[in-house]
Structure formats: structure tokens, C-alpha cells
């Protein structure tokens, strides 16, 4: 046995030992390395029959041989069916992100359109996150822009309010939306509850795909209004019909023959894959989004798309129809698993996965495929340019190779208050926004003590990374870039030395005497400060990194400051959540009004029990 083969044979021994007690039932298996991290997650109809293949080293591709050599232990979870195993496999892959799997790195939530049901005059608005409020939810939408467009269209056609309940209850005259004919102003009684309910029913029917029925009803109302000489009402109905016609505009990206479906197309170039998803709900195009799963270059497009489907629907309901541009392996099993997913969400109907061959559905799929190809071509062009920039950075700062990860730090505060620090990350793929971090500064910061803020950020970021054993790993930076001069450089270097971090290049970028962009000075260890030519692409790139960190710091600070402005003494009262806080503020007008209220007034507040009223009164009047 050669030294080269020893690790592989040790991995085979681990797998053979696990096989001794492994059942023949369906389930999911995990291969773990010495740190306990998942190397690979797989599913099987028969665990024992599937896993035994990994012991035949001679017939495995080199990539899987490496995986076997790194395997130190195995874990299994049995399931009742192979479809359940497929769903569990997708969930574990998204959560654990194993190195040898095809992984969809999609940690963003999707916006939905929400029509509330817990108010006499329902509100239509955008919603993101857990669906806990009593409401009808329509979506998902590909982006905030797509759902905002729909909300605007719904306001124009159905005149529904978009203001929150607090604003609604405190209005004394119509807002601007009423003036521009995008709201019926139920807040000030311009429409009664019954007529508003009719508008809500029409909106719900439209969002459910019954636009034709709604348009016919509006046309009848317009004709009746004209016959009874109610010309102003007839004109208003005409405008609503025009808006509805515009919203229903046809075309290849708004197909009339497709009710609820996701159109998914994949395209591959040079071992990289883009998967384009179009969301179609109620016959409307809810926007599209491109995804770039990570996978080995040898993986075929169909294999990548099969893995993508299971992971994509792990945290969202699958529609009844999915249209693809590639035939997939195990397509029937994927459809069965997604049908099971719908059933667990109390949704009716099976999931049908199809590859259209003709007609309008084929045109839609081809359109999605063109979008996937163009998006991938753009990304590859950007990546090639990015690689040249990183090679230039390496040459400029004497690095042995192009940096894989550049971390940039900045902070923002007003006289030491609402202090936040941020970290942004740049690399071969551009800005890696899922790696950005925010730091709410916890230590006491004196006004102007940027060194103190930087110290806390670095201690928290690198202290945790060292504790978790990340040094030298994929999330370990090659460069730390900071906004500042030689003082900031020395302070950062001192903090990193105290932590024992010595393999990270620290660079400080300082504006020139007149703070002109393009005349920055660069400071780093082992060389005198220097400037780059004003039109140097490397200078533009480093400026862009610094400016992105500054932008992120400012927006983080503003969000934190806005949040602090909306807090009040009521947040400190035990047992007072958002609902009771809203009831108190609606009744008394302000936190001060609640604080000065008598016990009898508190007990008379709608939504506040006598026990809670006594608790509130006791909080503000101890003893």
C-alpha cells in the first residue's frame, strides 16, 4: 500500500464499517470529515445498495476518490419513501453546503403580495418573511420591484388602501393617493364597508387568475352607470378597465395559456451553469431571477437542474406546474417529492413537471433559456474582468497569488450614538453580499473614537473565526482594506497581532489633501505610502470596494437610527408586544399619553385587559 493510497483506503474502511449496520430502506447519508463538516449528502432508495458503490475506488472518478479519502465518519437518516429522502437531502444540502454537492446558494427570502383579512377595510401591501398575519398571500415575486409594480397596479384598478392600520385610524382627510385615483379613501368614509368589500372581492378574483370575469363585471357596471346618466362614475370605471387591460397585457413573458407555473431554464458554458426562473401566477408574470449553483465542472446541465429543483422549493411552495428546457434524471421522483411538499403545506393538486415541445409553453421556455444564456455570458465576462483586477492587486501589493477574499471595514455614527461597523467582501465573483456583516458596537465609544470601533469589529470577526478554526479556510481573508492612513493601519495591525493573525495583508486607503477621489494614498507594511495613476483600473477597483463599505455603513446606521426612533418606554413594559403597543398608541396618541393615563383610562382601552392595564399602570407608577 503506497502512502498516496492510504487515505483512500482509510475512507473505504470507514464506509465498510458503516455498511455493516446500514439498512436497505430509503434514506439520506452524510459523509463527514475530521472536523465534523459535511463533505457530501446523498439520498437513496436503498441506503446499503447505494453506499456500497463508494467502496469500489477503482471505478470512481477522481473527485469522488478525494471525497472518500477525506471521509472520517458517516451518518444516516432513514425515511419512509425515496421522495421523503429527496426532500430531506435538499434541506440538508441547503443548510450544510457540502463541498462535493451541487449547492444552490440562495439565502434570500422572496416578497409576497398580502391582502389582509383582520380589518374591516383590508390593506394591500408587500410582505416578506414568515406568513403569520391573518391574510391572503399571493406570490412569490422575483423581486421587490416586481411586487411593487403589482401593488401599484392593484391600487390603480381596485382602489385598495396600502397604508398601515395605524395611519388608517389616524387620518382626518384623504391622502395624495386618493387625489391621484389610487385609493378609495375608506379611512375618511369616502367608501362604505360593503362597497369596499366588493372591491376587495374583485381584487382577490383578479389575483386568483379570474381577470376576465372581473373585467366583464366592470364593463357591465360602466354600461349601467352610463344608462342612468352617472357619467362621472362611468368615467371612473372606464379608467379602471383601461388599467386592468394594461396589467393583463399579453406577450411571451405574460402568457395567456399558463395559470400558475414556474418556468425554469438552464444554460451551461465552460462548466458554469445559470438557471433562470420565471414566476407566473394567476396568468401574470411575477418577474424572473437568475441563479448560479456551485458544482463540479463535469456536472451536466440536467443533473444541476435536478439538484436545483429540490433545493429551490425547500423553503417555498411549488406551483402545480413546472416547465423546463431539459429532461431530467428521476423527473417522476422529483414531481412526487414536490407533490408531497404541496400536501404538507395544505395545497391541493399534484405537481406536473414538463418539457414543452410546441406551442406557447415552448415559446415561454425558449425565452427563459435565452435569458439564462445571456445572464451567464454577462457573468462570465464580468468574472474574467474581475480576475484581471485581482491579479493586478496581487502584483501591486506583492501577494503570491490573486486574492480570493478581500474584506473591507468601515463604521458610521453620530457623536458616538447609534454606532455601527460593517464588513463587506469582494472576490472573484464581485461583491459577495451574502457574506456582508453588521456590527452593532456594544462598547462605550467616545465621540470620534473610530479606532475603538475598529478594534471591536476586528476582535469580534477574527476572534470568532479563530475559535471556529476558520484560519486558512475559504472564509479567511487574503486582504483587509480600511479607510484611513498610517494611524489606522498601525491600529489594525496591532489588533491582528494581538489575536495572532499574521497571514493577512492590511492595506489602508486615505484620501489626498483635498479629499479628491483619484488622488488617494495607499499605506501597507514594508513600503512607503504611494499613489496610483488617476486612470488606473486597480485604483478604480479599490475605490469601489471602499465606497461600497461606506455605502453599507451609512445605510446600516440609518436603519439602526430609524429603529431607535420608533422605540419608546412602552417597549420596556413586560407583556407589551406589538399588538398591545399599537392599541395603546392608537388610543392615547403617544407613549407619554399612556404614561400619564389613569388606571381607569387604561382599563377602558380596546384590546387591553384589566390585568394588563394594572401591569402598565404599575410600571409607570411604582409603589
**Could you please report the per-residue DSSP string of 595-615?**
HH--HHHHHTSTT--HHHHHH
Mean pLDDT of 243-256: 54
Query: For residue 361, which of 275, 280, 246 has the smallest C-alpha distance?
Result: 280
- Residue 252 has a pLDDT of 41
Lowest mean pLDDT, pick from 49-53, 93-97, 252-256, 417-421: 252-256
Mean pLDDT calculated for residue range 497-506:
91
The pLDDT of 228-244, averaged and rounded, is 71
DSSP per-residue codes, 12-64: HHHHHHHHTT--SS-EEEEEE-TTS-EEEEEEESSHHHHHGGGG-GGGS-HHH
Q: Which pLDDT score, from 0 to 100, does residue 372 have?
A: 94
Closest CA to 298 of 275, 268, 329, 271: 271
Q: Of 48-52, 379-383, 447-451, 593-597, which gets the smallest average pLDDT?
A: 447-451
pLDDT band at 88 (very low <50, low <70, confident <90, very high): very high
Q: In this structure, how many other beta carbons lie within 10 angstroms of the beta carbon of residue 279?
A: 23
Question: Would you say residue 622 has pLDDT above 80?
Answer: no
Instruction: Write down the pLDDT at residue 105.
Output: 80
Question: Residue 228 has what pLDDT?
Answer: 77
**Other Cβ atoms closer than 10 A to 223:** 12
Report the b/e string of 533-566 with b at 16+ CB within 10 A: eeeeebbebbeebbebbbebbeebbeebeeeeee
pLDDT of residue 441: 79
What's the confidence (pLDDT) of residue 390?
94
Q: Give the residue ranges of DSSP H helices in 133-172.
A: 144-158, 165-170
Phi, psi of 102 (to 5 degrees): -75, 120
Q: Does 540 have pLDDT greater than 80?
A: yes
Report pLDDT for 526.
Answer: 84
**pLDDT of 528 strictly over 60:** yes
Higher pLDDT, 121 or 223: 121
Read off the DSSP letter of residue 248.
T
Q: Does 141 have pLDDT greater than 90?
A: no
Q: What is the mean pLDDT of residues 302-308?
A: 95
DSSP calls for 513-575: TT--TT--EEEETTEEEE---TT-HHHHHHHHHHHHHHHHHHHHHHHHHHHHHH--GGGGSTT
Q: In this model, does residue 167 exceed pLDDT 90? A: no
pLDDT tens-digit readout, 38-60? 999 999 999 999 999 999 988 99
pLDDT band at residue 442 under the 50/70/90 scheme:
confident
pLDDT, position 1: 45
Average pLDDT over residues 28-34: 94
Q: Which of 151 and 275 is assigned the larger pLDDT?
A: 275
* pLDDT over 90 at 18, yes or no: yes
Enter the DSSP assignment of 466: H
Per-residue pLDDT, averaged over 269-284, amounts to 89
User: What are the Cα distances from residue 264, in Å, to 17, 90, 305, 308, 485?
Assistant: 41, 18, 9, 10, 50
Average pLDDT over residues 505-532: 82
R_g (Cα) of the chain, nearest Å: 30
The span from the CA of 473 to the CA of 351, in Å, is 41
CB 227 within 8 A of CB 221: no
Average pLDDT estimate for 308-337: 94
Domains of the chain in start order, with CATH, are 6-96 (3.40.1440.10), 112-247 (no CATH), 261-377 (3.30.420.340), 406-564 (3.30.420.340), 569-620 (1.10.150.20)
Per-residue pLDDT tens digits for 348-364:
889 999 999 988 899 99
What is the average pLDDT across 461-474?
Answer: 85
Residue 3's pLDDT is 55
Q: Is the pLDDT of residue 251 over 60?
A: no
Q: What is the pLDDT of residue 250?
A: 43
Low-confidence winner among 155-159, 322-326, 590-594 (lowest mean pLDDT): 590-594
**Least confident among 139-153, 231-245, 297-311, 541-555:** 231-245
CA dihedral 201, 202, 208, 213 (to 10 degrees): 130
What pLDDT does residue 16 have?
Answer: 93
Q: Does position 257 have pLDDT exceeding 90, yes or no? A: no
Q: What pLDDT is attached to residue 562?
A: 55
Task: Output 449 or 438, whichever has higher pLDDT.
Answer: 438
Beta-carbon contacts of 276 under 8 Å, excluding residues fewer than 6 positions away, are: 264, 265, 266, 267, 288, 289, 290, 291, 368, 369, 371, 372, 375
- Stretch among 43-52, 354-363, 472-481, 507-516 having the lowest mean pLDDT: 507-516
Q: Given this model, what pLDDT does residue 614 score?
A: 86
pLDDT at position 505, please?
Answer: 94
Q: How confident is the model at residue 516 (pLDDT cuts 50, 70, 90)?
A: low
Among candidate residues 217, 222, 215, 220, the one with its CA nearest the CA of residue 236 = 222
User: What average pLDDT does range 216-245 have in this prediction?
Assistant: 73
Average pLDDT in the chain = 85
Cα separations in angstroms, 597 against 192, 574, 601: 33, 17, 6
- 322-342 mean pLDDT: 94
Q: Which of 64-68, 358-362, 380-384 has the lowest mean pLDDT?
A: 380-384
Q: Average pLDDT, stretch 280-297?
A: 88
Q: What are phi and psi of 504, to 5 degrees?
A: -115, 130
Residue 565 has a pLDDT of 46
Instruction: Output the pLDDT for position 479.
Output: 95
pLDDT at 580 over 80: yes
pLDDT at 248: 54
Residue 288 has pLDDT above 80, yes or no: yes
Helix (H, G, I), strand (E, B) or coil at 261: strand
Residue 325: the pLDDT is: 95
Query: pLDDT at residue 568 above 90?
Result: no
Query: Model pTM?
Result: 0.70
- How far is it, in rounded angstroms, from Cα 254 to Cα 605? 49
Arithmetic mean of pLDDT, 157-164: 88
Share of the chain above pLDDT 70, in %: 89
Contact 411, 422 (CB under 8 A): yes
Question: Which residues have CB under 8 Å from 398's CB, separation 6+?
Answer: 526
Strand partners, 420: 412, 440
Q: Find the mean pLDDT for residues 408-412.
A: 87
Amino acid at each position: 500500500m503506497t502512502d498516496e493510497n492510504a487515505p483512500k483506503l482509510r475512507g473505504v474502511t470507514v464506509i465498510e464499517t458503516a455498511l455493516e449496520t446500514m439498512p436497505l430502506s430509503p434514506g439520506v447519508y452524510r459523509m463527514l470529515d475530521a472536523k465534523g463538516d459535511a463533505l457530501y449528502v446523498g439520498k437513496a432508495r436503498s441506503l446499503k445498495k447505494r453506499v456500497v458503490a463508494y467502496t469500489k475506488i477503482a471505478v470512481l472518478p477522481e473527485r469522488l476518490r478525494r471525497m472518500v479519502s477525506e471521509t472520517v465518519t458517516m451518518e444516516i437518516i432513514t425515511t419512509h419513501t425515496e421522495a421523503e429522502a429527496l426532500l430531506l437531502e435538499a434541506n440538508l444540502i441547503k443548510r450544510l453546503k457540502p463541498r462535493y454537492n451541487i449547492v444552490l446558494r440562495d439565502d434570500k427570502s422572496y416578497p409576497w403580495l398580502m391582502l389582509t383579512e383582520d380589518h374591516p377595510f383590508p390593506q394591500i401591501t408587500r410582505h416578506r418573511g414568515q406568513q403569520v398575519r391573518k391574510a391572503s398571500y399571493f406570490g412569490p415575486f422575483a423581486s421587490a420591484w416586481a411586487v411593487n409594480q403589482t401593488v401599484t397596479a392593484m391600487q390603480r384598478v381596485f382602489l385598495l388602501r396600502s397604508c398601515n392600520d395605524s395611519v388608517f385610524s389616524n387620518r382626518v382627510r384623504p391622502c395624495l393617493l386618493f387625489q391621484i385615483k389610487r385609493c378609495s379613501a375608506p379611512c375618511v368614509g369616502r367608501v362604505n364597508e360593503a362597497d369596499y368589500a366588493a372591491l376587495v372581492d374583485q381584487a382577490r378574483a383578479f389575483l386568483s387568475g379570474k381577470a376576465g370575469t372581473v373585467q366583464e363585471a366592470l364593463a357591465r357596471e360602466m354600461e349601467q352607470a352610463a344608462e342612468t346618466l352617472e357619467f362621472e362614475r362611468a368615467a371612473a370605471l372606464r379608467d379602471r378597465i383601461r388599467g386592468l387591460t394594461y396589467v393583463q397585457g399579453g406577450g411571451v413573458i405574460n402568457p395567456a395559456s399558463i395559470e400558475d407555473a414556474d418556468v425554469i431554464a438552464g444554460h451551461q458554458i465552460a462548466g458554469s451553469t445559470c438557471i433562470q426562473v420565471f414566476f407566473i401566477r394567476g396568468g401574470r408574470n411575477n418577474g424572473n431571477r437568475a441563479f448560479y449553483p456551485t458544482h463540479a465542472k463535469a456536472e451536466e446541465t440536467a443533473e444541476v437542474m435536478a439538484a436545483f429543483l429540490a433545493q429551490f422549493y425547500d423553503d417555498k411552495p411549488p406551483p402545480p406546474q413546472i416547465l423546463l428546457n431539459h429532461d431530467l434524471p428521476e423527473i417522476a421522483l422529483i414531481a412526487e417529492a414536490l407533490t408531497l411538499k404541496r400536501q404538507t403545506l395544505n395545497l391541493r393538486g399534484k405537481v406536473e413537471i414538463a418539457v414543452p415541445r410546441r406551442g406557447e409553453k415552448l415559446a415561454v421556455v425558449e425565452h427563459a433559456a435565452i435569458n439564462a444564456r445571456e445572464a451567464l455570458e454577462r457573468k462570465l465576462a464580468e468574472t474574467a474582468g474581475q480576475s484581471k483586477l485581482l491579479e493586478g492587486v496581487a502584483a501591486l501589493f506583492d501577494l503570491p497569488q490573486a486574492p480570493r477574499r478581500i474584506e473591507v471595514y468601515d463604521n458610521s455614527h453620530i457623536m458616538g450614538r447609534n454606532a455601527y461597523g460593517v464588513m463587506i467582501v469582494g472576490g472573484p465573483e464581485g461583491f459577495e453580499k451574502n457574506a456582508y456583516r453588521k456590527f452593532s458596537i456594544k462598547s462605550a465609544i467616545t465621540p470620534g473614537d473610530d479606532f475603538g470601533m475598529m478594534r471591536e469589529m476586528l476582535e469580534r470577526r477574527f476572534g470568532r473565526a479563530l475559535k471556529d478554526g476558520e484560519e486558512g479556510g475559504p472564509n479567511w481573508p487574503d486582504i483587509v482594506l480600511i479607510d484611513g492612513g498610517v494611524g489606522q493601519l498601525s491600529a489594525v495591525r496591532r489588533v491582528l497581532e494581538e489575536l495572532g493573525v499574521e497571514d493577512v495583508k492590511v492595506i489602508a486607503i486615505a484620501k489626498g489633501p483635498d479629499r479628491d477621489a483619484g488622488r488617494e494614498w495607499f499605506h501597507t507594511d514594508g513600503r512607503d505610502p504611494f499613489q496610483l495613476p488617476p486612470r488606473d483600473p486597480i485604483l478604480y477597483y479599490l475605490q469601489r470596494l471602499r465606497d461600497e463599505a461606506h455605502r453599507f455603513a451609512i445605510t446600516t446606521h440609518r436603519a439602526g437610527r430609524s429603529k431607535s426612533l420608533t422605540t419608546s418606554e412602552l417597549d420596556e413594559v413586560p407583556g407589551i408586544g406589538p399588538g398591545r403597543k399599537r392599541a395603546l398608541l392608537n388610543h392615547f396618541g403617544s407613549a407619554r399619553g399612556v404614561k400619564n393615563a389613569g388606571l381607569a383610562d387604561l382599563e377602558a382601552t380596546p384590546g387591553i385587559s384589566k390585568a394588563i392595564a394594572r401591569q402598565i399602570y404599575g410600571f409607570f407608577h411604582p409603589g
